[in-house]
Copies of this chain bind each other. A is one copy, B any other.
């Protein structure tokens, strides 16, 4: 009890060091948020390039401003290191590592496991440890705890505290960032919860405590599963509406006039990014252990898996009306990021469509003002300049991501054929085929 009060006192007086494992789109904004409140922050990063970028004030994350990063590094509140032994300096270690799926859509827990081993090896007594990465419920207590206790020889609730607090980063969201998005926190013990709240208070305005790590784990999965199934529903309805000659975009705008009980989702070529295509399948994975089949997630996954193929058929069908085949056509993709106005193409459906269209014999090119090159299958593509000539020369222009900078009038005017998968083009034209 004395120890806990001492720890809380040190936190209160800002006499503590926070370590953040992983300086990606979650970890770096969080580190900058702590350091911005004059908390001594150490970023642990496997990539020497990223670590040196941070130390040299070279910003690589859209949700962080160059000025913020410069300020906190110059003031010595933030430094990055590849030396994980320095975890022994930290009073809190917050883990922001990736939790990808492997190619069979099974969770890849390697990053969490490695982090836990290193923490177990190097941490000092009385450290608060919190995972932020999205993962299946029970991860903190059933997967992390045994590794950390074994490596350290310490006991949770006595020698250290373990918690889970899901990141809710929405890249590119100008209204809600790390600081002003409420943060759910579930710890294994009451003391852990109190320590966690005291620490996070420096970086986050509102902490919402829950009764256990597994509740916090489920919260994040629920949020993103909600999005997965609603996007999948609207994608499926968009395909039906295409067959029934109903404009799904008009339907959604009209449904939005219902003043209660409706939230609009929009169709598109498929689900992208590092959350929605992944998180629900973490839950599907653990559900099997409980002999439980998550049919809604399974069905949504099924819809998403077929979307790139359905979009390829849309392109084929548009070309067919001009008596052309995919094979031999030049197909220009506009926007390959997984959502507008960001530079991230992870899990982007555009890549999967490019791959399929290319395999069917098209000459595939793309333009994205935010992404200068990308790999699709075994090929590397470079973004080409968006010129009048390029549009004139392409047999089909496919709008896969509706970046704000795109000039839809120009695109329609100069193209022979446009397949608009994002409702980017508002004026009707017989050159344009909408999803």
Contact = CB atoms under 8 A, between A and B. Distances in A.
Contact of A251 (B218, B290, B303): B218
Interface in A276-292: 283, 286-287, 290-292
Contacts of A48: none
A225 B244 contact: no
15 contacts: A176-B259, A184-B254, A210-B254, A215-B250, A219-B255, A222-B237, A222-B255, A225-B233, A225-B237, A229-B229, A236-B296, A239-B292, A243-B291, A295-B302, A299-B299
Contact of A246 (B170, B218, B257): B218
A254 B295 contact: no
Q: Is the interface of A mostly helix, strand, loop or mixed?
A: helix
Given A216-B254, A219-B254, A294-B236, A263 B226 contact: yes
Interface string A342-372: 0000000000000000000000000000000
Contacts of A254: 184, 208, 210, 215-216, 219
A50 interface: no
A263 B227 CA distance: 10
Interface size classification for chain A: 35 or more
A229 B230 contact: yes
A338 to B, nearest CB: 15
A316 to B, nearest CB: 18
B226 A230 contact: yes
Interface string A242-284: 0110111011101101111111000000000000000000010
A240 interface: yes
B246 A214 contact: yes
Nearest to A220: B255
Nearest to A250: B215
A305 B104 CA distance: 31
Given A181-B259, A240-B287, A295-B299, 9 more contacts: A170-B261, A184-B254, A208-B254, A210-B251, A225-B233, A226-B263, A229-B230, A240-B292, A243-B290
Point out which of A181, A240, A292 has the most chain B C-beta atoms below 10 A from its C-beta: A240
Q: Please indicate which of the listed interface residues A182, A214, A233 has the most CB atoms of chain B within 10 Å of its own CB.
A: A233
A274 to B, nearest CB: 15
Contacts of A211: 247, 250
B218 A241 contact: yes
B229 A233 contact: yes
A419 B294 CA distance: 24
A398 interface: no
Contacts of A175: 260
A434 interface: no
Nearest to A183: B257
Given A176-B260, A295-B299, A214 B244 contact: yes
Contacts of A237: 222, 225, 294
A286 B257 CA distance: 25
